[in-house]
Amino acid sequence: MAIVDTVTGETIEKLRGVIDFYMLRGILPVARSWPKKPKPPYTILQAEAMAVFAIANDSFKCLTDNMINAWRVGSVGSVAAWTDVFRSLIMKYWKLNRIIAPIAIDYLVTETETQFKVKWNILQRYIDINVPWEYTEVETLLINKEDILLAPKPIYFTLLNEEGIRLVAPYITFGIEI
C-alpha cells in the first residue's frame, strides 16, 4: 500500500485491474495492488467463507440508526473502522462455530427500581438462503444500582453468549450521573 498525492479519474481508469486506488478511512488517498479473487474451483471452506463474508456485508442494512450510531461512537479512538470490526466478529464467530453469529440490530437501556437492563433485538441469519431469518429479543442485566457507586466510570457493555464469546454488538458506554 502506498500513499498517493492525488487521484484522477483518468489514472483510475488507466490502471484498473492492476492498481486499486481508494480513500483510506475516507481521508487519505492510497494505492495498492489490485485484489485477486481466488479462482475456482474453491474448496468447500473457501466457498462457505465467501458466503459468510457476503452475508456480513449484507447485514449492514439490517442495523437501525441507533445501532449504527452506537458502533460509530464505540469505535472512536480505535485503529479499525467499525465496519471492519463488525465483519471480523461475524467471520471469527463463524470460524469457531461454523454458524453466523447473532447480530444485535438494536438495543434499549431500561431502568427498574434496583437495576438497569438492556433489551437487545437480535437477528440470526443462516448460510442456507432457504432458512428464514430469526428475530428475537433478549434482555440482559446491565448493573445493579448499588454497584454503580463501586464501579469505575465509564461503564462499557456489549452482548456475549453463554460461553463468554462476544456476539456482533458494539461496546456501548453507559454513563450515569449520580
Mean pLDDT for back-to-back runs of 10 residues, the chain (178 residues): 75 80 79 78 88 95 95 87 95 95 94 86 94 93 78 84 92 67
* pLDDT for residue 1: 64
* pLDDT for residue 176: 52
User: For residue 95, what is the DSSP state?
Assistant: H
Residue at grid coordinates 454503580: 148
| Pair 21, 8: CB distance under 8 Å | no
Pick from 103, 100, 106: nearest CA to 70: 106
* pLDDT for residue 109: 87
Pick from 121, 118, 106: nearest CA to 174: 118
Instruction: Tell me if the pTM is above 0.95.
Output: no
* pLDDT for residue 175: 62
